[in-house]
Structure 1
Amino acid sequence: MDKQKNQEEFEALLRETKREGIDYVIEDLEKGGFFEAPASAGHHLNVPGGLCEHSLNVCHAGLAIWEGMKGLDAASMGEVKRESIILATLLHDVCKMDIYKRTVKKRKNKLGQWEDAEGYNVSYKDFPMGHGEKSVILLLLSGLQLNDDEMCAIRWHMGAFGLNFNSYEDERCYDTARIEYPLCAIVQAADSLAAAIIETTAEDIDSL
């Protein structure tokens, strides 16, 4: 993983959108540790810089889905802007940049012996505001101008995993956002493809 190269591509894609407030977002991401954070504590890309690489993978997948879907449903895809895909995919997980804390964990090596290994614990104490909704709030606080479909796509990027099934309002909002904004489905699909296919390693398969 080339963290510097990933950060440069990440910033270049964001600036390509020419969206008001994007430089403030990049500055806040740098200060917040986004480019050094892992994408998870113990699953996909749980290494320094993993969060940025995951975000790029989601962006690449999202743009590919958008291009492919144009031949299947040109009308719906005509409602989705390239800049919106870039913003929603690259920034869907900014909520994670402050939750992973370095620690030492015990894990078994290939010989079945326990050994110390660097890893991460998860803490939500810095800003316990949920997941997708936290990302939206942080971006707005940075001064980024987001459209409704972009906010909904970021808020609901976890799909049903981000739902409170005890909340009728949550279910209705989620269903409405997916129907009203095609961007939501694109970002959800791209996030899933990145984590389940692009970032799956041989070690992950062996551990099944």
Structure 2
Amino acid sequence: MNEEQRMAEVEKFKNYFSYISRPGADKLLAWLEEAGFFTAPASTKYHGAYAGGLVEHTNYVYRRLVQLADAEDKRQGRTYTEYTVDTIAVAALLHDVCKVDAYKVEKKNQKQKDGSWKEVEVYGYTNSLPLGHGEKSIIQIMRYMQLTEEEMLAIRWHMGAFDSAVKGGSYDMNNAFAGSRLAAMLHIADMMATHLDERTNAHE
């Protein structure tokens, strides 16, 4: 991703973020910018492993969640949407704020195709606030802005079966998905963004 592409993704994010109108949203956005959200990768190597990868991934999740929520409203035959544009934006745009300070550039010797070794810069993972993935996002958001209980559930469990608590045998994710379509849809939107959108539009 070049700088022009990254800035285009930042602009899209800020446009989507404008749907969040609750008190503290402006302070939260200022913190995201200051903390490096718009230059962070989405992961070390799995997806979006480049500067701007996190904001790009987030934008994909937002668009997927909008589509899923709209399709579900139609399936349910709703006259009015189940979730406000504010809630959709909050869940999608803020689910991964826990990653804002999680990746640092490191130098590493890497084997090349010709068999030689070369020192390259890669992202390494660090966690100065080990509270859990979704939990950390919620705590960081609520330093600036309030969340509804359903938004908390969605952000907390957006990792689905990949969440360490689920791997440890917790049934809380199942209960969250059973009680909240938003929680289930955010997880699906996250998976679609990661495994469909980002794979199709992978940057060199």
Tell me which interval the TM-score lies in, with the shorter structure as reference length.
Answer: 0.7 to 0.9
Matches within 5 A, 1:79-98: 79-98=82-101
The Cα RMSD (Å) is 2.2
Aligned to 1:147: 148
Between 66-75 and 96-105, the greater mean CA deviation after superposition: 66-75
Read off the aligned partner of 1:164 and give its amino acid letter: A
Deviation at 1:38, TM superposition (A): 0.4
Task: Call closer, same or farther: CA 1:177–1:74 in 2, change over 3 Å.
Answer: farther
CA apart distance, 1:51: 0.6
Number of corresponding residues: 199
* Percent of residue pairs bearing the same amino acid type: 36
* Correspondence list, 1:88-167, <5 A: 88-124=91-127, 126-141=128-143, 143-165=144-166
Post-superposition shift, 1:203? 8.2
Question: 1:6·1:53 contact (CA, 8 Å) conserved in 2?
Answer: yes
Given that residues 161 and 167 in structure 2 are in contact (C-alpha distance below 8 angstroms), is that contact kept between their aligned partners in structure 1? no
Task: Between 55-64 and 173-182, report the one with greater CA deviation.
Answer: 173-182
Write the distance in 1 (CA, Å) between the matches of 2:21 and 2:135. Answer: 23
Q: Could you tell me which residue of structure 1 aligns to residue 23 of structure 2?
A: 20
2:39 pairs with 1:40: no
* TM-score in terms of structure 1 length: 0.86
Determine the structure 2 residue equivalent to 1:185: 184
Q: Is the 8 A contact 1:80 1:182 kept in 2?
A: no
Q: Which one-letter code corresponds to 1:187 in the other structure?
A: L
In structure 1, how many angstroms separate the alpha carbons of the residues matched to 2:75 and 2:112? 47
Report how far residue 48 of structure 1 moved. 0.7
What is the SS of the residue equivalent to 1:16? coil
